[in-house]
Structure 1
C-alpha cells in the first residue's frame, strides 16, 4: 500500500509545523507521541522523515526513514520504520536501512505497524524483542547503545547492503518504484 495524500494538513508533533495529511501520517504522529511521552525520548533528538539516499547502477534513489534518534553529538543511534502490513515482512529492509543510514550503522532498529513491533539488533540482524512492549524506553535504549559493538561498513558491505535494501524497497513498493503494471494484452477467449 502506498502512502497517499488525504488533501489536508495536520500539525507535526515533533516540529510543530503544518504538514501534509497522508494515509500513514496519523500513525507516524502516534509513534512520535509514544516515543516522547511514554518512552521518554527527547523530542529535540528525534527526527522524522529522514532521507536515506543511495545509488544503484549509477541511479540515485531515496527512501524516507520514519524516525531516527540521534545522540547529543548528532550521531544516529536508533531507527524506527513504520510499515503497513506484517511487521516480519519489513525486518530485513529495516536492518539494511539501519546499516546504511548516514552516520551509521545504528546499533538497534525498530519496525512497527503500531499494533506489533520488532526490536532488531542491527549488527546481527536478530530479533531482540517482539510486540509493542519491545519498544525500549530511552534510558534502557541508551544503555543498550552504549554496550553495543558497531563498526562502519566496508565499501563491499555497503554495496551488498544497498542492493538488498533496494530490492526490498522495490518489492514492497517503496518511495522509489512505480507500482503500475502494463495493460494486459488482449487474448481471444476460447470457447
Structure 2
C-alpha cells in the first residue's frame, strides 16, 4: 500500500469514509433500505457510537445502522464480511443493551444475504435481504410491539458477551 487511503462518500450522511470491504457492504445496505425498502435517510442512524459501562470502565463501540420510526429504535443492522451465523450473538447482545429497551429486531448482512433476528427470543425469523422489513411493515409492527427492557443482571451479562465479540474483531484487511 502506498499510504494513501481510498475514500468513498457515505450514501446517507455524505461524509467521506475510508473505503473498506465492510464499508462497501454498509453502503450497499444503506441504498437498499432507502431505494428498495422505502426508508428515508432521516430514519437511519449511521455508525452510531455508544458506551458500555462495566464497573468503573467505559468501553466505546459503534453500531453500523439503526432504523428508527415513530421515535423508537426498531432494528439494528450489522454489516460485515463472512459468516452471518457467527455474528448472531454479537448483534443480539447489542440490540439488547443499546437502549433502555430491547431493540425489537437485529439484522446481520454481508450485503448479499441477511438474517433477521427477533431480539427477545434470539430466533432467526427471516433469511435474505428481502426479509428485512420495509418501512411500511415496520410502522405496522411498531404499533403492536411492547418495548421492554432486560433485568439488570441480564444486561450485565449481555454487555460482557458483546464486549467479548468486540475484543476478537478482525480488522478490515483480514483475509478469509
The TM-score with structure 2 as length reference comes to 0.86
Q: Structure 2: which 5+ residue stretches go unaligned?
A: none
Whole-angstrom distance in 1 between the partners of 2:96 and 2:74: 11
Task: Kindly indicate whether residue 44 of structure 2 is the aligned counterpart of residue 46 of structure 1.
Answer: yes
Whole-angstrom distance in 1 between the partners of 2:78 and 2:129: 14
Residues 67-97 of structure 1: CA deviation (Å, up to 9, x unaligned) = 0012232x32211111221101101111110
Whole-angstrom distance in 2 between the partners of 1:132 and 1:6: 34
Which of 1 and 2 has higher RCO (CA within 8 Å, sep 6+)? 2
Task: Kindly indicate whether residue 118 of structure 2 is the aligned counterpart of residue 121 of structure 1.
Answer: yes
Aligned equivalent of 1:37? 35
Aligned residues: 171
- Out of 81, 90, 106, the residue aligned to residue 84 of structure 1 is 81
Classify 1:9/1:173 alpha carbon distance in 2 versus 1 (closer, same or farther; 3 Å): closer
Q: Structure 1: which 5+ residue stretches go unaligned?
A: 180-191
SS at structure 2 position matched to 1:55: strand
**Aligned Cα root-mean-square deviation (Å):** 2.3
Whole-angstrom distance in 2 between the partners of 1:43 and 1:67: 11
- Out of 20, 23, 30, the residue aligned to residue 22 of structure 1 is 20
Aligned equivalent of 2:101? 104
| 8 Å contact from structure 2 (residues 82, 110) kept in 1 | yes
| 1:41 CA displacement | 1.0
Aligned equivalent of 1:147? 144
| 8 Å contact from structure 1 (residues 76, 104) kept in 2 | no
The TM-score with structure 1 as length reference comes to 0.80
Aligned structure 1 segments of 4 or more residues deviating by more than 3 angstroms: 171-175
SS at structure 1 position matched to 2:11: coil
